[in-house]
Structure 1
Amino acid sequence: MTKYCQWQFGAVVLVAVCVLAAPLSVRAQDDWVDSIHLELLQAEAAHQIVLFQSLAEYYHPRQPDSSARYVQRMVRMAEGFADPAAASEAWRMVSSVYIKRSQIKEASDYARRALKQLENCTSPACLEEKYEAASGLDYCLTRQGKHGEAVDVLLPLQAFEKEFGKEKKAMLCLRLGESLNEIGDYDEALAQLNKGLAYSRELGNRNTEQEILAIISITYYYLGDLDKSVRIAKTSRAIASELQNKNAECYLLYIIADTYVSLALYDSARHYFEQLREGSLALNNDDYYGFAIGGLFRNALLQGNDNLEKYARAAKEILENGKTYQQLHVKRNIYSSFSDYYLQKGDYQKAEEYALNHLRHVRKFEADTTELVVFALEELSKIQAAIGSFEKAWHTYDTFYQLKMAIVDNNQHRALAQAAVEMDLTENELARQVAEKTARLEQQTTAIRTRLFLGSLTVAAIVLVGLLWAYRRAQRDRQLIKQKNEQIETSLAEKEVLLREIHHRVKNNLQIISGLLGKQARKSSDVAVRKLVKEGQERIQSMALIHQNLYESDQLSGIDIKSYLQELSQNIQKSQAVSPEQIQLNLDVDTENLDIDTAIPVGLILNELLTNSYKYAFPAQRKGRIKVDFKKKEDRYLLQVSDDGIGFTPEQIEAGKRTKSLGLSLVNGLVRQLSGTIEWLAVERGTMISIQF
């Protein structure tokens, strides 16, 4: 009873203190607002807009109309600034007010106006402001999922790198790396992130170093190098622990745990998800707690352990607690897991219900969630088919397929169109410059000859003086010709560098396409789709290898077919995961230079034939040998691929032709492109294909 009375007395005292303190708090806020208004009377225009910003942000949750009036005053003041840097800063402050209100579209519009003020200004003040304005616009664009636009905004800043300190350079590389990851340009993302990492280490800035390492870890995850992703994430986590950055530690715990799930190391994944759960409770962070419970649920579902029902109940509490989560993936992951959970139980109605909730959830966010919608539609179509709602399933799958193809086509079109335009423009410019140089040289040569002729006439009148004059003039002309020739040689060398860069970019663009296909394939559970994507990636790689050899070789006019076929064969052997001890690969290739139009079909043909041999000629880990011969006989080339595997019967070959399989059709089409012939030769053991062109 005594304890109860003491508790009651304490509660009364606490309420009394709160009641007495409330007027004091309100009075303090009123005093602060009054001081701002007094300061406005004496402040200059540049400082007035800062005060208006403070008032607009203060009144927004309390008196929205008053906040709107202060924003309008800020807009009028921004329109009146003549100095570009001051005008940009003013528009940027307007943008920041809308960011505080979570009105990101309006914030991005004002951020663009801020950046536009600086288009023609390169003063130090303008460059500093350009960095801040671009950073603000980048924040708005990435919040909306417009990562391609964010890259376009940030890249021009690197032209002014010398004007920025290393801290800004590091942060610029970090932001670029994040957005490049989102658009699938992982090689360029790594290049930017590693450059930013070097800047942060030179400065000794451990915070920035930790952030960049975290994004590098994610990049390697996207590239499929999961072991390296985990190692780097653990290094980043160690730095976050050293800095006592609990929020960053939680973020990295999630990355590590999620990567272990992808590696099917479920015990390790559970260990790190449990650490994330404890860390989120210490931080009182709902998002990290949601990620931890959702991860534990998904991990238990994949592993099939005894804690599945416990984690399912905890995950359901998150869906039903009514809290607002900043990260859309918190509930998205749980909805998807419950859909699989009930699908495994055979409760198709509930599986469909959670799949629909998953789809509705990702559609309601402001950011571009097209890829997440595609994933949710694929999941929903499978469940509807399992229920027997085939008409619904077909409609859902058709929507999924159209969206998926639109994403792939848009990314491929963007990469290939950019490469084609760059190649065309560069080649046209090169031809124009060479023509101009040649015309000028001809004009100069004609003028030289005319002057020499006139000099010879003068010799008749004044022999000694004329000879001396002609000699000195000819000497100067020869020096001039020499200089012009040197200029032409320099120009041609520059154009050669440009051509190498074109081939380099084409190779990079082909790798981007391959990476995009791989990313899409990883999101699909359909084995046939993954197989088709992998075959497509191998064909793309064989073409990319051509352009790699071109920019690495001393001659741009042709491909060294011997080194190309050797490297291509080794890549195919690695991609098929076959050891040299099981299947020996022997190459007998003449040293020949082929033009690119011939080398690409030859590489694609060899890719198809070698892949078929590895896949079908040696079943059940059978050992054997594959031989590739490439010879030149008179004015024709002979390509032969043979193996001592199980071989094909004539009936199987004819059946393959009738079914028009993709691989055989592709080989026949490429042989026709080379104006060649193909023969399936009878051998005692295995298969031999002979192609002449």
Structure 2
Amino acid sequence: MAKRLGTILCYIFSLTVGLGIAQEIEPLEADALIQFQNQSTVEDRFTYFFATVNRYNSHSAYDWLDTVDRFTKNSEKAKDSLAIKKYQLIQSQIFFDIGDYEKSVSLSTKLYSNKHKLDLNFKEKLLDLLDANYSRLQLYDKQVEIRKQKRELGLTNNISFYDIYSSLGLHRQAMRDYIMENQKTVADNDFYGLAQYHNSIGNYLLLDKSTSTALTNFSKAKGYIEVFQNDMSSVKTESEIIQGNLLKGIIDGNIGKCYVQMNQFDKAIPYLETSISTIEENNIGRSSSEANENVLALAESHLRMDRLKVAKDYLDIDLELTKASQIVKKNKLYAAYYDRMGDFKNQALYLQKNVRIQDSLEVNESSIKRQQIAAIIAQENLEDSRRMNNQMKLEMAQNRSEMEAMDERTNLVFISLIFTLLGFAGLVFAYLKSIKNQRLIAEQKHIIENSLIEKDSLLKEIHHRVKNNLQMVSSLLSLQTKNTRSKAAIEALEEGKSRVKAMALIHQKLYQNDDLSVIEMQGYIESLVNSVQSVFKKGGHSINITIDAEGVELDIDRAIPFGLILNELVSNSFKYAFPEDKEDGRIYIHLRKNGDQGFFEYTDNGIGLQEDSEERASSSMGIRLMNRLVNQLQSTLNIDKSTEGVRFWFNFK
């Protein structure tokens, strides 16, 4: 719609010189979809998505759906139920943004069926989305239920119904309730809030056909939003700037619609065109009911001014109309256009469409509205009664407490004197005893601290000595290698030496750490890979190695078998995967830990496994060793052959 609408606007500007308002198009923000994909965790992606106002700046909502669907499937494979829920809420929000409210409600309702498993922040976003969906679908009784649940969760202290009243046609009552609730809450220096306040009042008046009063409020709102935008004393975030631009676009559109109601079409057109342009620039990729209404108002203005071709161009725009009133208005304008053109067949066709729509609305809408109004009023009465009963109970309880307190006060004075003396004696005794206990505690604490320091020193010394002993074993293997002529024996000794170094490196990391119970795996893997790489670089290998294990820590019982497995894999890649000194050789090492569960993946893009590699692998000492080590981690080694390279992976506890 945005591209086609832009073409129509350019055409209109060329026909009506001086009516259009030129606007400089600011460069778009960085690609939001790429930034979303680059977030490291699902929580970061979830927070980034809902904090980004103009997220469809470079990619459409359908591109976002494809990307989120991919993340969802990956989470399903990993059986990460929390990640699945977060991605599904993002999908529901995207469906809402593009105007597919039924899909959005279906996803959101399914998520809320497991509300006992959701945290408060997640519930708040989910209930807000359901509230907005039911408003667009005109299911106001369901909207009331959602707001009731929000209050029960403590997400809002007071439930307001003025917007629902307005949707049901009670615009004056809605305006009175809105003013009563919001007039005192907007600060004098909150220019954005004041603009929003006067725009809302103007909306209710415009819907109530009080056009001149509505225009006065919209003019005030426009003044406040311009002050907000030009206020250099406070730094605004990108989100606040976009929200300010959107509100200004909506206010311009409302002023234009006022002029249309007053039949001042030459004044209405510039405001409507500016409004559409502003909304489209700051609401990229989202369905906008305000923009749709402004397009129809523009079509009506040009039609009433006998600019039939321009009016037809606006009517032909493929708008995503969700309200029956908008569809009826568009059909009326088409009928009026074909009447002006003398095409009475098409005129009759569009009039018949409206007759069918209005017949359907007359049958269902009035009874549904009555039911929904009754439900809202009943809800309000129920809440008022509940509050009154609670207040009466509270007052009665207070009176009863005061009477009981007066009866007990006399007795308490006498008793309190006795207990004061006893208490004073007890305090003296307790004070003397506490001094003695504090001395004992201080002495015991000093002994414990010294013991812990001594224990840490001993553990570090043990790990240091184990590392030195393993280093000595490695040196003995090196001496043995120099005295051996058999190539097979030399390779076996070198492999043994590499494995010993992998274990020695574990103990070295332990005695260098402040925490002797765990090893930080990112640094350990880097050291291990550098150790292996230093040996094989002599052969001319130039391989790019990527390590992704940031923040993962393992205890020594899991770190030693893991280090030996990784040593085997890296050594095999250097020895066999790149026989021709491949320039673009790549190795990828991925280690993640989520609670008690871990996942390890190792890939290279070398020559891969040969046809008979499975038979040889079963007899290979390296593969047999890795299988046993993986068994120690209570898992099974998986090997995937691909068109380029090989992939080893396993889950562990």
TM-score, normalisation: structure 1 = 0.37
- With a CA cutoff of 8 Å and minimum separation of 6, indicate the structure with the bigger relative contact order: 2
Q: Flag the structure with higher helix content.
A: 1
Rg larger for:
2
TM-score, normalisation: structure 2 = 0.39
